[in-house]
Amino acid sequence: MWNNFLWVILPYLIFASFIVGHIFRYRYDKFSVTAKSSELIEKRQLMIGSILFHVGILFVVGGHFVGLVIPKSFTEAIGMSEHTYHIIAVGIGSVFGVMTFIGMFLLTYRRISHKSVRRLSSSGDIIVNLTLLLTLLLGILSTLFGTKEVPGFDYRESISIWFRQIFMFRPDANLMAEIPLLFKLHILSAFVIFGLFPYTRLVHAWSVPLSYLKRRYIIYRKNPS
């Protein structure tokens, strides 16, 4: 029962919350979509942590997309062996995973330890930071130690297939039955992130200022007086 709930029912509950939450936020609270910048309070830790996190998370998300969405048969068809794929995935994934974790740790430490920043933060902000930190930690531990519990475990033959089946509306919970515990905890913590996404500051990810790339330059002239 629990296996079916966690890997068949829960993903759709999270997905529904993700969609409905965004619709509600846009219709009734769209002007709250902001990161509530605290740069004027403290800049150094914010700059370092933000750069590490945002650069790292782009590669982490990209790596998850490749691992979960692209079938194993595709990489084999283009001549990439399982050993080569594993070396690339673990090597690059570990580097950017650790980078993202360090960035989030600095941002979380700054938010909790700096009195003025903490005063500006809501309880939701702190929960989001801690949840992201936990998810990243579990991801790193899964990559480095998760397969020791189940020798020879290949997530592309179980988790990836289950993930793609979700979007085909026929997820097989049996594929997740023998998954190592660290991987399960990582996935469940990611569910929490997606569940919180539309109701917290995470939603500011959709407000990336892409228009800045095509707008005209702003020219500043010095006042001679």
Q: Which pLDDT score is estimated for 204?
A: 79
Average pLDDT over all residues of the chain: 87
Q: Is the pLDDT of residue 32 over 80?
A: no
**54 has binding-site annotation:** yes
What integer pLDDT is reported at residue 212 of this predicted model?
A: 64
Query: Is 186 annotated as a binding-site member?
Result: yes
Instruction: Write down all domains in the chain, each with its CATH number in brackets.
Output: 2-213 (1.20.950.20)
Q: Does 22 carry a binding-site annotation?
A: no
Pick the range with the lowest mean pLDDT from 68-77, 88-97, 198-207, 211-220.
Answer: 211-220
pTM of the complete model = 0.85
| Residue 25, helix vs strand vs coil | helix
Q: Which of 24-38, 153-167, 190-204 has the lowest mean pLDDT?
A: 24-38
204 appears as a binding residue in the annotation: yes
**87-137: per-residue pLDDT in tens?**
888 888 899 999 999 999 999 999 898 888 888 888 888 999 999 999 999
